[in-house]
Amino acid sequence: MASVTGLEGVVAAETEIGNVDGERGHLVYRGYWAKDLAVSRGFEETAYLLWYGQLPGERELAALKGRLAAARVLPDELRRLLDALPAGLPMMGVLQAAAAALADGAEPAWPPRADQAERMTALVPGIIAYRHRALQGLAPVEPDAELDHAANYLYMLTGRRPEPDHARALTAYLVLGMEHGMNASTFAGRVALSTQAGLYPAVSAAIGAMGGPLHGGAPSEVIAMLEAIGTPDRAEPWLRDVLERGGRLMGSGHRIYKTVDPRAEALRAVTRGLTGDDPAFALALHVEETATRLLAEYKPGRRLHTNVEFFAAAIMKAIALPTALFTPTFTAARVVGWTAHMLEQAGHNRIFRPQSRYVGPLPAASEQLL
């Protein structure tokens, strides 16, 4: 009997939320190309699409922005929890504890509701910023209702209004990070939700899965490569040296996408429009173009293309985001997709109950007991 370890290729659910086609390089959010949404739409618009099934009109968008802005303020009890957590607890553990704590028993756990999805999404950036600043001995920065989701996140982290280019690039990254099919964390969230545990505990389960290095790992190796290259004129000799030694260029190739990663394609387009004002974006774009050309030369026929982690690293470097916040920031995006899947799961819920195949030893034969 063939092994099904890891459930790879097994269909666990039907969904209308997102579609990933690695062979064709397609990523679709509810009938829209994700790369087009990242270039032409904002965080709030795309979140509305995933939650409610259609892009918002002006009134719906304004109302959603107002609700998200109002929900950004951390409740006092949540601040006390964040202050009480051990200083050595990683940020993903902090987020997991905070998500679980939002289920305070004051409201029924089932069924999950869209306003809970909105609240969870609004609070995650503030939780990250509050905890990060506290560990640095800095006072918290209260949210600014005039800023959109990405810009407000950067503002709460630093206390300064971000450069428009940085906010725009981060918005594109967050849009592209919202949804990616039945990945490990989305599956974990849907499994937990299927038990009628409630949305907040299910998000906590998804965060736990995201925290593993095989899933939500940060693009720190790409940043190290960009920093080692330093200037555009060093790109080709540095990259050639790595390839001549049989090394791997960080940020190239993808387990799912066998052609161009559509998320990288969108971030490339956004980055190209920002290179005039930020040398970090200009360097990343030059390195990417050089790496693509050299990979075709050294590894013909391998279909190696720049993946989303490459441009994610460029954005994180440009906005000076600490390495410890890479995966939490990814989480601030993916919480939209998780909660959309949870709302969908609740609509036709059936508890996940797969079977395992026992391959251990059997007890010795014995007479039947009377």
Q: Report the catalytic residues.
A: 254, 309
Pick from 344, 342, 339, 347: which is nearest to 117 by CA?
339
Tokens 């099904």, residue located: 4
Inter-residue contact 127 to 115 (CB < 8 Å): no
CA 189 to centroid of chain Cα atoms: 14
Inter-residue contact 290 to 284 (CB < 8 Å): no
Angle between helices 279-298 and 262-272 (to 10 degrees): 140
Torsions phi, psi for 21 (to 5 deg) = -120, 95
Q: What angle do CA 40, 310, 165 make, to 5 degrees?
A: 40
Q: Which residue type does 93 have?
A: G
Dist. CA 323–CA 219, nearest whole Å: 9
Q: Which residue type does 334 have?
A: R
